[in-house]
Structure 1
C-alpha cells in the first residue's frame, strides 16, 4: 500500500465545500492518475446546495466529481497502461458478480460503487483532486491530439448515448428533447449523430434554447407557449421519439401528448418527486415509456466520438476555473442563466 497527500475538493454538508488535503492510499493493482480537469455535474451541485443528491445523503466528508480526465502517473506492471498516457476515467465500479452484472446490465448493479457518490457508506470519493487511484478497467486512453476539455465531456455524453440506444433505431425519426441543459444538449447531438432526421428542443431558458440550436436542434421552443403545445399535440402527437431530459414534473407529463401513437418516450431527467401522469393517453396510443440510467460500455464510445470529433461539446463549456475557486465554480454552475458546463482545472 502506498500513500500520498493530495489537495481535494471536499463536500462536508450543504453549502460547505472546501479545498483540503487528505491522504490518498492505493495498492499495486491500481492506477495512480494525476487529474487534469473535471466537469461539474448536477449531482455535484445538489451535494453542494443540499448535502444530498436524491436519496444519497452525506454522512461524512467526500471528494466531489465524476466527470474527469488525467494523466497516468503509475500503473501496474502487468497492465497495458503506461505512465504519461492521457486517460478518461469511467467513474462506474459495478460488482461484476451479481446476476444483473452478469446479464450485461452493469449500470443497474445494486452494489455499484460510483465515484463521487454518497449512496453507500463509506462514501466513494470522486475525482476532484490532484491525484486519484482507480482500477485499470476504469481508464480509457485517448489520443494526444484530443483536447482534455473535450474528453472531460465523456461521462455526460455516455449518459446520452445510452439514452439514444434505449430509444432504438433513430434513422429518419423526428425527435423532441425536453430540457436543454448539458444533458439535453448532448442528447440532441447524439440523436443527430445516430440518424435522427430532425431534433427539436424545449426549455424555459432563452439561453438554453440558444445552446440547443448551437448543438444541432433545428429549433428550440419555450414549453409555456400554448400555440406550440397545441400544434405538437394535434393529430395524436408530432414526434416519433421524445427524450425527457429536464426532470420537471410538467415536462414529464407533457411528452405523452407530444408523442405519436406507437412512439417512444425515454425518461432520463431526474428530480420530479410527484407527477400527475396521463396514463390513459399513454395506453391508448401504445406509447413505450423507457427509463435510461447512466451507461454501460457507452463510456468508451463517448471517448471515441469525442476523440474523432463526431460531436463537439465545447459550445456547452461556459467557464474553466482553478481548483482553488471550487466554491465559485459550483455557484456559477448552479445558475443556468449564466452557465451550462463549468470545469475545474487541477
Structure 2
C-alpha cells in the first residue's frame, strides 16, 4: 500500500523550532494509521510517511472527525460508487500543526495550526462550470477510493499534504473545533445553494453532523425559523443546541408537512428523508439535497415537486466556503461545538467507529492524535 501518513513511535523534539522547516532526516519513517482493507475490515496499521515533495508540508495531526464516508468504507467496502480495491488510509476532516513547511516556500510556516481542504480539482472528459471546481470530473479527495490508485487520507499522527490544502487557523479557533471545519464547509455550501435564507423558514431533514451543522449555518445566515427533523432524540438535542427553534420526529409526517418551509436541507441520505423534504417545502420553495442517497434509481415524490414548482438542487462537497467558515468561527458568529459528542485516542479507533455508526447516540466523533487542546 502506498501510504501518505504515519504515526511516529517517538516525539519530535526538533519541532520546538517553529519558524524553520524540519529536515527530512528527523521526520518519522513509519507509524500507525487507520486503514480500511475491505468491508468489515478496519485496522490500525503501520505505514510509511513519504518524503515530502517541494510543494508539500508535513502536518502533526491533532484531531480527525469520522465522516459518513469513512463509515461506509468500513461497513460496506465502498462509499457510493467509490469502491475499495486496495487498502485505504481513511480520514479527511483533520486539524493539526505544520512541523515541516513546504520547501518551495508556499503555504504556512512550521508551527502554524491549520485545517485542511481535502480536495484536489482535476480535469476530465466531462464538462463543468469553471467556477465550481468541486464538480471537476478528475477531482480527488483525501481518504477516497474514487480513483485508482486510491487517495490516502489523513487519519494518522503525521501526514504529508500539499501546502495549497492548508488553511491557517486564527488564534480564536482551537484545534478541536477546527476538526469540524471540513463538514461545516459542506453544510455552508449546501445552505449557499439555497440562496438568501434571511427571514425565511428553514427545514432540515436529518440531524446528524451535517444536518446539525446546516442548522448552525442557517442560524448564522438569519433564517427566521429553523425546524430540525430526525428519527432519534439525541441528534434533535444537538440540533436544538446549535440553533433549531423546533424539532420533529421523522415519523410525524403531518407536522413536517405543516412546516411549509421556504428552504429545506435534506441531509438524511435516504429516499424517505427526500420525501419528507418535498412534503415539508412550501409551494415555490427550494430543496437542497446534500445527503448522498445510495447509487441507482430512487423513489421520489416528483409529481408533488412539479406541481409545487419546487427547486430541487444538489449539493456536493464545497469550494472556497472553508475560508468563510474559518472567519465565522473566529468572530464567534458560527457556533458548532455541541456537534462534537465523543473523542477517542487513535489507538481506540475501532471503538470510535462503532460509536460513530450509532447515530441514535452520537454526533461527531473525533479521533485524537495526541497533539490536541480542549477548545
Deviation at 1:77, TM superposition (A): 4.2
Identify the match of residue 17 of structure 1 among 38, 42, 50. 42
**What is the DSSP-based 3-state SS (H/G/I as helix, E as strand, rest coil) of the residue aligned with 1:320?**
strand
Residue 85 of structure 1, CA deviation: 0.3
Cα distance in 2 for residues equivalent to 1:6 and 1:337: 33
Unaligned runs of 5+ in 2: 1-22, 370-375
| Aligned residues of 2:107 and 2:166 also touching (Cα < 8 A) | no
1:114 aligns with 2:141: yes
Q: 1:149 aligns with which of 149, 155, 176?
A: 176
Matched residue SS, 2:42: strand
Specify whether residues 15 and 85 from structure 1 end up closer, same or farther in structure 2 by C-alpha distance, changes over 3 A only: same
How far did residue 294 of structure 1 move? 0.3
Q: Distance in 2 between matches of 1:105 and 1:98?
A: 16
Taking the aligned partners of 2:223 and 2:213, their CA distance within structure 1 comes to 14
Residues 1:169 and 2:192 are matched in the alignment:
no
Q: 1:295 aligns with which of 318, 321, 332?
A: 318
With structure 2 as the length reference, what TM-score do the two structures score? Answer: 0.86
Partner of 1:125: 152
Contact 2:144 2:153 in 1 (8 A): yes
> CA contact under 8 A between 2:248 and 2:256: conserved in structure 1?
no
What is the distance in 2 between the residues matched to 1:56 and 1:209?
A: 30
Instruction: Summarize the alignment of residues 289-328 of structure 1 with structure 2, pairs less than 5 Å apart.
Output: 289-328=312-351
> Which ranges of structure 1 fall in alignment gaps of 5 or more residues?
233-237
Tell me the distance in 2 between the aligned counterparts of 1:204 and 1:108. Answer: 31
| Counterpart residue number, 2:243 | 216
Q: Which residue of 2 aligns with 1:235?
A: none
Per-residue CA distance 1:176-227 (angstroms, 9 max, x = gap)? 0000101100101101111211100111101111111111101100121244
C-alpha contact (below 8 Å) 2:123/2:139 kept by paired residues: no
Aligned runs of 1:1-346 on 2, under 5 Å?
4-25=29-50, 26-75=52-101, 76-95=103-122, 103-229=130-256, 231-232=258-259, 238-273=260-295, 274-346=297-369
1:198–1:230 Cα change, 3 Å = closer
Aligned length: 341
User: Matches of 1:224 and 1:102 in 2, distance apart?
Assistant: 39
